[in-house]
Amino acid sequence: MDYLSYSPETAADIVRLRRRIEAANVPPKSTDRNLLIATWNIRMFGGVYPSFEENPDSPKRNLRAIAILAEIISRFDVVAIQEVRRDLTGIRTLLEFLGPHWGLIVSDVSEGTAGNAERLAFVYDKRRVEPSGLAGEIVLPPDWGNQAIEQFARTPYAVSFRAGEEAFILVTVHIRYGEGCEDRRPELEAFADWMAQWEARDKRYHHDIIVLGDFNIDRRGDPCFEAFTSRGLNVPPQIRGISTNLATGRKAKHYDQIGWFMGQLEMEYTGRAGTIDFAHAVFKELSLRSMSYRVSDHLPLWVEFSIDRSRRYLIEVLGLDPYARDPFADIPD
């Protein structure tokens, strides 16, 4: 990122934003040690006004906004992004800000009224992770489940990655919003069913499967959250109660989620997870609603995994109890 090209207003935004990132306890990237995965619904991520100044017309998202997006995304290794539009100017400009060591994998547009001309995308730090071969959309067969839906409004997108010795599949989705939970439940149930059957396959592409995205879940414990978790998908406790939308005059929601099947993950979850609340730190001269059209009306959600297997291997070689508080306590100095 070329910070010297930033406007003074943008630079001040970045200073305040870095304070929020530090307060969020986002771990630093550590080579061969950790993996940071995030998801972010970036509001109507399409066109960009090619200036740091305000656009009196449309689009409202400008280079100042792209600099803010890049500052947050650069803290992670791979980020699933929802609401990428047919116009790819925004995400391509984001990659220019992030630099040549960042890559992009993006789906085609979901056509039709319910698809809202949206794509799903992954951006990733090529110094830390690399695609490992699988990329595909989840399409329901005609005889699927209880046939509550004919097809997903916005087709879920699965891509596999590798980081060090770890290989994993990320499946991202943007569940239809509709008029309420009853409109969303059929897709959530179909998605949970699909993931449970995929998880049960012996010959899946990689063992580890992580789902993430905008599930339009209002709150933990409501029927939509229960539909999401009904087939065994688990949300780590550190993010179960986190609100991920900007409550611009409305009650905060838990739309965005990251989860996996308990006991079925080979990667080690560190217990560190959270979000970055950028509200009132950037575009301070604007209302939250106006700011949301430049940055987003959702907050990014992240989790950390350990990709250092040395501890596991040492415990195995020494025949120690991996569940002991300190497995190495009896090893003499």
CA 70 to CA 310: how far, in whole Å?
33
Residue 39 has what pLDDT?
97
pLDDT at residue number 302: 97
The residue segments making up the domain with residue 288 are: 3-318
Tell me, yes or no, whether 270 lies in a domain.
Answer: yes
- CB-facing half-sphere around the CA of 150: CA atoms within 13 A: 1
Query: Is the pLDDT assigned to residue 178 strictly greater than 80?
Result: no
Query: Could you tell me the pTM of the whole model?
Result: 0.91
Secondary structure element (H or E) that encloses residue 20, with its range: helix 8-23
- How high does pLDDT run on average in the chain? 89
In angstroms, what CA-CA distances link 186 with 19, 116, 144, 226, 273? 41, 19, 12, 12, 28
pLDDT by residue (tens digit) across 107-158?
Answer: 998 887 766 789 999 999 999 999 999 999 988 777 665 555 677 888 999 9
Number of domains in the chain: 1
Residue 331 falls inside a structural domain: no
In this prediction, residue 167 has a pLDDT band, given cuts at 50, 70 and 90, of very high
Which residue intervals of 175-277 are DSSP H helices? 181-200, 223-229, 237-240
pLDDT in tens, 224-257: 777 778 888 888 989 888 888 886 556 667 788 8
Q: Quick check: is 324 in a domain?
A: no
Interval 48-55 mean pLDDT? 97
Establish if 54 belongs to a structural domain.
Answer: yes
Q: How confident is the model at residue 190 (pLDDT cuts 50, 70, 90)?
A: confident
Say if 260 falls within a structural domain.
yes
Omega prior to 59 cis, within 30 of 0: yes
| Helical ranges in 277-323 per DSSP H | 288-292, 310-318
Residue 250 lies in a domain: yes
Assigned domain for 24 exists: yes
Tell me: the pLDDT tens digits for 275-302? 999 999 999 999 999 999 999 999 999 9
Rounded CA Rg of the chain: 20
CATH of the domain at 241: 3.60.10.10
pLDDT at 74: 98
Domain assignment of residue 296, yes or no: yes
- Of all residues in the chain, the percent with pLDDT exceeding 90 is 56
